[in-house]
Amino acid sequence: MEAQRLLSGFCSTPPIQNTKTQVFVKFPLSSSSSSSSASFAQSQKWVSFKACPSISQSALSGKVFQCRNSGERIEFLAYDKEDLRSGIRRKKLAVFVSGGGSNFRSIHEACLRGSIHGDIVVVVTSKQGCGGADYARDKGLPVILFPKRKLEADGISPADLVATLRSFEVDFVLLAGYLKLIPAELIQAYPRSILNIHPSLLPAFGGKGNYGMKVHKAVIASGARYTGPTIHFVDEHYDTGRILAQRVVPVLAKDTAEELAARVLREEHRIYVEVITALCEDRVIWREDGVPIIRSKENPNEYS
C-alpha cells in the first residue's frame, strides 16, 4: 500500500469528503537514491507531489488503488469501489453564486451524501460577501471573484476564469443564482456543459433583469395559472439556452410573491439535484435536432 504510505506521510490534516484522489510520483532515476528516507525536497530528480492537502489515511478506507506506469512517472490512482463498479468517473463541478446560495447548498449536500456522482471543487461568485460565498469558505471550498469589480482587486478576467476552471479540471459549470452574463470565452470553453436554473417556466418571464422576486411578482400580475423552475443550458444570452427540465408549480388565487417563491424554491432544490445527478451519470442525451433529454436510470429506453 505504497500510495497510502505516501499520502499519510504528506497529508496530516483531517479528511475531506472528496472521493477520488490522484497521486503523481516520479521515482529517482538512480537505484542508489531509492531509500525510503529520500524526500521530495532533497532530490532534484523528484517531480512535484500532487495530492489534496487535506486527505488523511482514514479517508482512504474503501479505496481501490491502481498503479499506472507512464515512462518515468508512476501514477497511483485511488478510486471508490463504487466508481469502479459503475464505470462512470466522478465529475468535478464548479458552482457560480451571487446571493444566498440555497440551490448551491442543496447541491453540495447531495454531493456529500452520495446522491450526485460528483464533487464541487470550486465556487465562483460575483459578490465576495454573499451568503453562498460565505458558505463555500466555511466548507473549505476555494472561492473566486468574477467578474472584476472596481473596488476589489481579487477579481479575474474571462481568460483567467477559463484557465482557473481548467486547472481545477472542472467538467460542468452550474449557475445557482448567479446574476452576471456568462462570457463567451467560458461558453466556448465548456460547450453543452454549463447549466442554469431560472424560477419560471421559460421562455416566459425570462431575460435580462428577470430574476428572484421580480419573476414571481410578474407571474402573479400576468394572471398565469402555472409557473415553476426551468433548468437550461447556457448560451451567450440571458435565459435563451436549450431547456433540459422543468417542474410545474400552480399559482394559487391568493398567492403573494413570497408564498409563490417559497413553493417554487422547494421544487428548484429537488429538480436541480435530479438533473445534476443525471448529468454526472452521463444520462443527458442530445437529440439530432439539438434538444437535450434525460435518459431514465431505471429504464434506459425512457426519456424525459
Please list the active-site residues.
Answer: 198
Residues near 186 by Cβ (< 8 Å), separated by ≥ 6?
158, 161, 162, 165, 173, 194
| Alpha-carbon dihedral sign for residues 55, 61, 66, 69 | positive
Q: Which residues fall within 8 angstroms of residue 86, CB to CB, at 6 or more apart?
A: 117, 281
Contacts of residues 214-223 at CB distance under 8 Å and 24 or more positions apart, as own/partner, are 216/257, 216/258, 216/260, 216/261, 216/264, 217/257, 219/251, 219/260, 220/251, 220/255, 220/256, 220/257, 220/260
User: What is the distance between the alpha carbons of residues 175 and 233, in angstroms, rounded to a whole number?
Assistant: 10
